[in-house]
C-alpha cells in the first residue's frame, strides 16, 4: 500500500509541475500523438545532436496519466542515444503488458510508477501515448 501511494505521488507531481511541458521552438522534430479513445492529444518535440536526443518537450492536452507519462519519459530520454531511448520504450511496453522483470522495472526508474496500468486496459493507451510517439519519431530517421 505504501508503494502504491508513493507511485501516485510521482504521477501527481508530474501533473502539477511538469518539467518538460513547454514549447521548444527550435525542435528538429515535431510529431503529434493522439489517443482518440480518451481525447489525449500531444505534440512531442525533440532536438537531436547526431544520434543523441539533446533536448525535448511536449505540449498538448490529455488526462493525468498521458501527461505524467510523457513528462517522465522526456526526463528519462533526454541526453540518451536514440538506440537507448528505443530500448527504454520497448521496456516500457513490456512493463505495460505485465512482462517486465524486477530488474527491468528498476531500469525504468520513475516510469515504473505506471506499472499498475497493466491492470487497467482502458488506460493503457494513455500511458503508452508518449512512448509510442517517441518510437515513431526515432524510427522515422528524419535528420
Please return the burial class of 13, using the count of CB atoms within 10 Å of its CB with bins 0-12, 13-18 and 19+: middle
Provide the grid cell at 51.
544520434
Q: Of the two residues 100 and 124, which places its CB atom closer to Zn ion in the complex?
A: 124
Please give the Cα distance from 140 to 143 (Å, whole number). Answer: 9
- Output the nine-digit C-alpha cell for 17: 509541475
Q: Does the footprint of Zn ion cover residue 31 (CB under 5 A)?
A: no
Q: By CB under 5 A, name the one of 24, 73, 126, 128 that touches Zn ion.
A: 126
Q: Which residues are bridge partners to 49 per DSSP? A: 52
Size of the site for Zn ion (CB under 5 A): 5
C-alpha cell at 74: 522526456
Binding status of residue 69 toward Zn ion by CB under 5 A: no
Q: Does 30 bind Zn ion (CB under 5 A)?
A: no
Judged by CB under 5 A, does residue 66 bind Zn ion?
Answer: yes
* Interaction pattern, residues 76-115, with Zn ion; x per rule: CB under 5 A: ----------------------------------------
Q: Is position 63 an interface residue for Zn ion (rule: CB under 5 A)?
A: yes
Best CA proximity match to 112, nearest among 126, 95, 127? 95
Interface with Zn ion (CB under 5 A): 38, 40, 63, 66, 126
Amino acid at each position: 500500500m505504501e508503494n502504491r501511494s508513493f507511485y501516485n505521488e510521482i504521477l501527481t507531481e508530474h501533473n502539477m509541475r511538469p518539467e518538460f511541458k513547454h514549447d521548444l521552438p527550435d525542435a528538429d522534430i515535431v510529431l503529434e500523438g493522439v489517443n482518440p479513445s480518451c481525447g489525449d492529444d500531444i505534440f512531442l518535440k525533440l532536438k537531436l545532436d547526431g544520434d543523441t536526443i539533446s533536448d525535448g518537450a511536449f505540449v498538448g492536452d490529455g488526462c493525468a496519466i498521458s501527461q505524467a507519462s510523457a513528462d517522465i519519459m522526456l526526463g528519462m530520454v533526454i541526453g540518451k542515444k536514440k538506440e537507448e531511448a528505443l530500448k527504454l520504450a520497448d521496456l516500457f511496453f513490456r512493463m505495460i503488458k505485465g512482462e517486465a522483470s524486477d530488474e527491468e522495472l528498476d531500469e525504468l526508474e520513475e516510469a515504473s510508477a505506471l506499472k499498475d496500468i497493466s491492470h487497467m486496459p482502458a488506460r493503457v493507451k494513455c500511458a503508452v501515448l508518449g512512448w509510442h510517439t517517441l518510437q515513431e519519431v526515432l524510427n522515422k530517421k528524419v535528420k
